[in-house]
Amino acid sequence: MAGTLKQVSQKSKIDLSGKKFAIVVAEWNEEITEPLFQGALDGLLKLGAKKKNIIRKTVPGSFELPLAAQWMAEKKNVDAVICLGCVIQGETAHFDYICQAVAYGTMKVSLKTNKPVAFGVLTTLNKQQALERAGGKYGNKGEEAALTVVKMLEQ
Ligand code: RBF
C-alpha cells in the first residue's frame, strides 16, 4: 500500500531564491536514481529555488550517502541536503544492513549539523515497485524529498 501522493503545487511560503541545496545521488540503480534526481531538481525549481544554488554530488551506492550528505551539510552556505538512492531487496541480508545504515546515517547528519537532510531512498522488493515511485503511478519520491526539506526550512 503506497502513501499519499504529494506533489509540488505552488511556490514555497518563504523566499527560496537565496537558499542553497545539495542533492546527493547514488549511482546504484541509476535508472531509478536519475529520475529521482530529476524529480528533486524540478521540485526545488517549482518551489522557487534557483538553479545556480543547487549542487549535485554523486556517490557509488546508497551506503555512501550519509558521508557525502555530511560533507555537504557542513558547508556553511548549504541550507539543506537531499539524499537519493534505491536499494532493491536481493537474496542476501545486504538489503537490511544498507537500508538501516542509510536511514540512521542521514538522520544523524541532520541532527549533527542542525540542517534538514531528506531521506529520499527507495527501499523496495523489486525494480517495478521502484519505477512506480520514481515518476510512475505513485509519483516521484525525489520530488517529495524536495518538498520535505523546503517544509523544514519553512518552520
Ligand atoms: N547500493 C544501492 O544503492 N542499492 C542497492 O540495491 C545495493 N545493493 C547492494 C548489494 C550488495 C550485495 C552489495 C555488496 C552492495 C550493494 N549496494 C547497493 C552498494 C552499497 O550501497 C555500497 O556502495 C557498497 O557496499 C560499498 O560500500
What CATH code is carried by the domain that includes residue 60? 3.40.50.960
- Can you give the pTM of this predicted structure? 0.96
Question: What is the pLDDT averaged over residues 114-134?
Answer: 97
Q: Is the CB of 125 under 6 A from ligand 1?
A: no
Name which residue sits closest to atom 8 of ligand 1, judged by CA. Answer: 87
Class of residue 28 by CB neighbours under 10 A (exposed 0-12, middle 13-18, buried 19+): middle
Does the residue 32 lie in any domain?
no
Mean pLDDT of the chain: 95
Does the residue 93 lie in any domain?
yes
Name the DSSP class of 64.
G
How far apart CA 83 and CA 110 sit, in angstroms, is: 11
Q: Is the CB of 26 under 6 A from ligand 1?
A: yes
Q: Is the CB of 60 under 6 A from ligand 1?
A: yes
Does the residue 14 lie in any domain?
no
The boundaries of the domain holding residue 66 are: 39-125+136-155
| CA-wise closest residue to 48 among 12, 2, 97 | 12
Does the residue 6 lie in any domain?
no
Could you report the per-residue pLDDT of 20-57, keeping only the tens digit for each?
999 999 999 999 999 999 999 999 999 999 999 999 99
* Residue 94 annotated as catalytic: yes
Report the relative pairing of strands 80-88 and 117-124 from DSSP bridges: parallel
**Where do we find the cell 509540488?**
8
**Counted domains in the chain:** 1
**Where do we find the cell 515518476?**
135
Does the residue 23 lie in any domain?
no
